[in-house]
Amino acid sequence: MKPIGSQNDPAQMEDVHPEKTDFQTWARNVCQVIQGIPRGHVLTYGEVARLAGPGGSARRVSMAMRYAPKGVKLPWHRVINSQGKISFPPDSPYFSEQKKKLEREGVRFKGDAIDLQRFGYQGALDALLWGIPPAGPS
């Protein structure tokens, strides 16, 4: 992917208004939410979108992660779709990589999907607001 290509206009780069809930601000919020997911838990796109703020749609979550530079450490593998499955094609290298990372963190697959009842980060909002660690799956 190319970084905006020929965007040499200084006006567009510097004239940024963080107060507004534009895509960049919202995307940054999404990154915060994803980084707040503890090890061994996962969140769905819809939940991340809701936690990131108003005007959030699940599609934008995926865009935000692609939007983030490589330098940013983002546990993107902890984000899955509402079906509890990985959103990559099974033959994609990303699929195996994500599954591998998740299993390494203790997330077990029930067939081809994850049991959201167990590994779904239900305490996401609490942790984001008060820093309360989640109760691990027993």
Partner DNA sequence: GGGCTGACCTACT
Partner DNA sequence: CAGTAGGCCAGCC
Residues that bind DNA (CB under 7 A): 1-2, 4-5, 23, 44-46, 55, 57-63, 65-67, 76-77, 79, 81-83, 87-88, 94, 98
Q: Is 53 left (phi over 0), alpha (psi -120 to 50) or beta?
A: left
**DSSP secondary structure letters along 26-89:** HHHHHHHHHHTSPTT-BEEHHHHHHHH-TT--HHHHHHHHHHS-TTS---GGGEE-TTSS-SS-
Measured from the CB of residue 58, what is the shortest distance to DNA in angstroms?
3
Which of residues 29 and 62 has its CB atom nearest to DNA in the complex?
A: 62
Angle between helices 58-67 and 23-35 (to 10 degrees): 90
Which of residues 61 and 127 has its CB atom nearest to DNA in the complex?
A: 61
Cα 18 to chain center, whole Å?
Answer: 21
Which of residues 25 and 40 has its CB atom nearest to DNA in the complex?
A: 25
* CA distance linking residue 134 with residue 90, whole number of Å: 30
Which of residues 112 and 132 has its CB atom nearest to DNA in the complex?
A: 112
- 133's tokens: 């660690």
Measured from the CB of residue 131, what is the shortest distance to DNA in angstroms?
25
